[in-house]
Amino acid sequence: MDPNGRKRKKGNPVHGWVVLDKAVGIGSTPMVGKVRWLFQAQKAGHAGTLDPLASGILPIALGEATKTVPFMMDAAKSYIFEITWGESRTTQDAEGDVTATSAVRPTEADIRAALPEFTGEIEQVPPKFSAIKIDGKRAYDLARAGEKVEIKSRPVRVDRFELVETTKETARFEVDCGKGTYIRSLARDLAASLGACGYVTLLRRTRVGPFTLAQSITLDELEQMCDVARVSDGLHPVSTALDDIPVLAVTETDANHLKHGRSIVAPQTFTDIDLILAEWNDTPIALLSPRDGTLVPKRVFNIT
């Protein structure tokens, strides 16, 4: 118990983001568990699941950074992926069973001509083997149980869809896209539009919001840092996930008000902004929303 009679949380009060470069062959949830254990952190979560067969950027939030996970979930993302022609599979990747075959091998010219159809605001049906919930159950659980899975199409945004390399059997692409875009569905629909069969044989996420591969770290590298007691070197500040949000430097008095859930007077220049990050001494205090000339705390950070 703490001095106020509250039960102490297990673990250390570690706050920040780990930009993990996830390897192929392991799921997102086990990676979160491993990172939390390395830091002995009280809380952990991740922003955007990566399939076990996918690699790349998996942002993992520790401590108070978990309060900023929704901003990373909504962030734009970038991928490199490869389609292998000739087969369609249940999961749209190498893990699934073959459902159809085709001798069609799209030409580079045909592929380039088809890409504009999949750029901009498009309608997309997520894969049946996905984490989307249907009547409270994950689609992939229903599909693996042999149950019929019907998922409605939904609008997604693809900002850039470029062909970067082709062979007779494969095509490699780079994609910048918005929240909720499934690359496996993009590959499935592109193959169908070309009259071909194809499935994803390489998928690598290269960016999530402000996080890129240049900032990332592998689990092995993080473990090596832990061995020499420098694991904190792999931690990015909580506010990194909020780079696009205007920052208001507040006084110590206002910071104390906000920490206790009380509103503060809004400076004139911050009355027309939807969301504001309040900081005191470069430490995140709260996310604020304007209301009737005041700034109301929406999320308060407990960082000392």
* Catalytic residue annotation: 51
Pairwise CA distance, residues 208 & 213, whole Å = 9
* SS3 state of residue 154: strand
| 282 burial via Cβ count (<10 Å: 0-12, 13-18, 19+) | exposed
Tell me the CB-side half-sphere exposure of residue 200, using CA atoms within 13 A: 27
Q: Are 265 and 271 a contacting pair, CB within 8 Å? A: no
| Other CB atoms within 10 A of residue 2 CB | 8
Q: Are 96 and 87 a contacting pair, CB within 8 Å? A: no
Which long-range CB contacts under 8 A does 264-273 form with residues at least 24 apart? 264/288, 264/294, 264/295, 265/293, 265/294, 265/295, 266/290, 266/293, 266/294, 266/295, 270/246, 270/295, 273/246
Q: Which residues contact 195 (CB under 8 A, 6 or more apart)?
A: 102, 104
Task: Give residue 238's identity as a one-letter amino acid code.
Answer: V
Q: Which residues contact 137 (CB under 8 A, 6 or more apart)?
A: none
CA distances from 23 to 47, 204, 216, 281 (A): 16, 9, 12, 37
Pairwise CA distance, residues 159 & 178, whole Å = 8
